[in-house]
């Protein structure tokens, strides 16, 4: 079943997410809309790209993702509609979908459908990307002649895994952009000079102990059992993590 998933740095407070949902409902009223993530790394398409690549696999293969982490909105940065292994991703061409494209087996990219109404200089999520996603949800597809060259979406200078903080959840657990399967053996993660050993889950360590584990989305995540790892380790989104 087709669904539309929103991945943004807008937050759920304020009008922005609600306005995008209103546009989607008006244009594709029978298609469910879910909030995949509303607090992606602020103004940080690179960090958000690694988070999105970890979250997207839970979506059905026919899903359409509207991704908006877009500090360059209103500039000459391009727009993109990416088909990757059957899912569609619609948003700014600023690297947000680079890891999705790199890890997919089949990829096609196109400029986003042209807007059919007025376009604000500062809210392309509502005025360009949401309408484009609705058109995809209704079964419309871009003209093959408009396809972009292979590799357009990738950022070859970006690493396969990102050794920095990409998200902090409400418990203070700290997600990195590093896929846990790439870390072998008894590897430590170092945050601000403090090492964290690997554990399977929270209950495997004493209360108050720092550790890292493979989270439910496959990322290496720093945590402190029943405490906040972000404040305890002095970490915030964007901070580097060292692998030892």
CB contact at 8 A, 116 and 94: no
CB contact at 8 A, 103 and 78: no
Whole-number Cα distances in Å, 174 to 52, 78, 134, 160, 239: 15, 32, 34, 19, 10
The single residue listed with the structure tokens 């609705």 is: 134
Q: What are phi and psi of 37, to 5 degrees?
A: -165, 125
In a structure prediction context, what are the per-residue pLDDT tens digits for the chain, which is 244 residues long?
699 999 999 999 999 999 999 999 999 999 999 999 999 999 999 999 999 999 999 999 999 999 999 999 999 999 999 999 999 999 999 999 999 999 999 999 999 999 999 999 999 999 999 999 999 999 999 999 999 998 899 999 999 999 999 999 999 999 999 999 999 877 899 999 999 999 999 999 999 999 999 999 999 999 999 999 999 999 999 999 999 8
Number of residues in the chain: 244
Quote the pLDDT of residue 184: 85
CA distance 221 to 27: 38
CA distance 200 to 44: 30
* Whole-model pTM over 0.85: yes
């Amino acid at each position: 079943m087709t669904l539309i998933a929103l991945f943004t740095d807008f937050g759920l407070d304020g009008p922005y997410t609600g306005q995008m949902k209103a546009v989607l409902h008006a244009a594709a009223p029978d298609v469910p809309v879910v909030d995949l993530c509303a607090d992606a790394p602020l103004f940080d398409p690179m960090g958000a790209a690694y988070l999105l690549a970890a979250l997207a696999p839970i979506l059905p293969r026919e899903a359409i993702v509207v991704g908006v982490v877009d500090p360059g909105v209103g500039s000459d940065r391009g727009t993109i509609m990416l088909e990757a292994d059957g899912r569609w991703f619609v948003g700014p061409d600023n690297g947000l979908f680079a890891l999705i494209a790199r890890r997919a087996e089949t990829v096609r990219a196109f400029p986003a459908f042209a807007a059919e109404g007025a376009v604000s200089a500062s809210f392309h999520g509502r005025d360009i990307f949401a309408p484009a996603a609705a058109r995809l949800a209704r079964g419309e597809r871009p003209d093959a002649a408009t396809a972009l060259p292979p590799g357009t979406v990738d950022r070859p200078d970006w690493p396969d895994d990102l050794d920095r903080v990409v998200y902090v959840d409400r418990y203070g657990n700290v997600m990195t952009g590093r896929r846990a399967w790439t870390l072998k053996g008894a590897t430590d993660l170092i945050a601000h000079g403090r090492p964290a050993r690997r554990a399977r889950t929270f209950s495997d360590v004493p209360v108050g102990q720092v550790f890292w584990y493979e989270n439910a989305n496959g990322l290496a995540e720093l945590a402190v059992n029943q405490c906040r790892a972000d404040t305890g380790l002095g970490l915030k989104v964007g901070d580097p993590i060292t692998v030892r």
